[in-house]
Structure 1
Amino acid sequence: MPHNAPGHSPTRPNLRDPRSAHRRAILGACLTLWLVVLPGTVWGKTAAKGPAVENRCGWFVNPSPGNAWLIDRDGEWTVAIQGGHQADGDWPPPRAEKEWVPAGGEGDPRGYGYSCACMKVKTDHAQMLITRIVSSQGKPLSQCRRDRKLSEPSD
């Protein structure tokens, strides 16, 4: 239908025009994709990222080879068990030698013991596991000793 034909309005589409029906079908398909499919894809990717990184501070205990825990306000988190679970990432180094309490008393040649540390980690709350250490930092022993919710480990 010509643009200057009687009954044709330049602001109102002719619904009988086959091109208009085709445009409506394409628009409908695009809207369906935009409103139904894309949000599910985006939300699915968000949910698949896994647990958020948490900052946890407390006593880092390494009493023997391959065994380590972080004891914080929420409880005892397993970092590693010899022959079993091992969190990905590096364990926290002590801030200084004087900030490391050796297991078995002064001068333990094996290097086992405990210190105070803060760690950015991913966890499995149900099993109280640290699954990944994103970063870790040794802290002064006094920081953990001042925290009334923490009890210093015993040998």
Structure 2
Amino acid sequence: MRAHISTLLIAGALAALPSIVLAAENRCGWVQNPTPGNYWLDDRDGIWIIATQGSETEALGMENMGDISAGDFVKTNGYYGYACGCMKVETERNTDPQDTSAGRITAIYSFKQLAIAKCSADKSLPTPE
């Protein structure tokens, strides 16, 4: 009996392991940078905050995004605007009903900028601002 309980406990722990170890996820959509220090990703699940001007909280690995204005980029405000891209990230889902964002991107492991046309053709994405 004790062997069965031990086996079940180990099996349960191993089943939970992938969700802990493999927390990174791929997210694709509009990478918005409308003003200095403000970045977010609009994807099919909503708005994911990356960084907010004046806040000490920003995603680890911001340097992995590079300069999005160097690729296919739409200027909307001087040197600021939006691009299309996919990133491997860790997220923290929003639980505050007062906050309309899907959550926060807490870490960026990689980023690949895509053609604007790729996101424009994706009907699951909102129109960029």
What's the TM-score, normalizing by structure 2?
A: 0.73
The runs of at least 4 aligned residues of structure 1 exceeding 6 Å deviation read: none
Query: Per-residue displacement from partner, 1:40-89 (whole Å, max 9, x unpaired)?
Result: 9x66x948946611100000001111110100000010011112220001
- Shift in CA distance, 129/102, structure 1 to aligned 2, threshold 3 Å: same
Aligned to 2:100: none
RMSD of equivalent CA atoms: 3.2
Mapping of 1:1-155 within 5 angstroms? 35=6, 39=10, 46=17, 49=20, 52-84=23-55, 85-89=57-61, 90-91=64-65, 93-94=67-68, 97=71, 99-104=72-77, 108=78, 111-126=79-94, 128-154=103-129
Say which structure is richer in strand.
Answer: 2
Question: Paired residue for 1:5?
Answer: none
Tell me the equivalent position of 1:8. Answer: none
Cα contact 1:56–1:119 (8 A) shared by 2: yes
Q: What is the CA–CA distance in structure 2 between the aligned matches of 1:137 and 1:93, rounded to whole Å? A: 11
The CA deviation at 1:92 is 5.0
Q: Identify which of structures 1 and 2 has the higher relative contact order when contacts are C-alpha pairs closer than 8 Å and 6+ apart.
A: 2
Task: Report the Cα distance in structure 1 between the residues aligned to 2:30 and 2:124, rounded to whole angstroms.
Answer: 11
Aligned residue pairs, count? 118
Contact residue 58 and residue 70 of structure 1 kept, 8 A: yes
| In structure 2, C-alpha distance between the alignment counterparts of 1:113 and 1:70, rounded to whole Å | 12
**Residue type of the partner of 1:100?**
F
Residues 48 and 139 (structure 1), Cα distance of their counterparts in 2 relative to 1, 3 Å cut: closer
Q: Share of identical aligned residues, percent? A: 39
Structure 1 segments unaligned to the other structure (5+ residues): 1-30
Give yes or no for contact 1:59–1:71 (8 Å, CA) kept in 2. Answer: yes
- Aligned AA (1:54): E
Q: Spell out, residue by residue over 1:83-127, the C-alpha distance to the aligned partner (whole angstroms, 9 max, x if none).
A: 222000132543854x111122xxx3xx31100010000001135
Q: Which segments of 5 or more consecutive residues in structure 2 lack a partner in the other structure?
A: 96-102
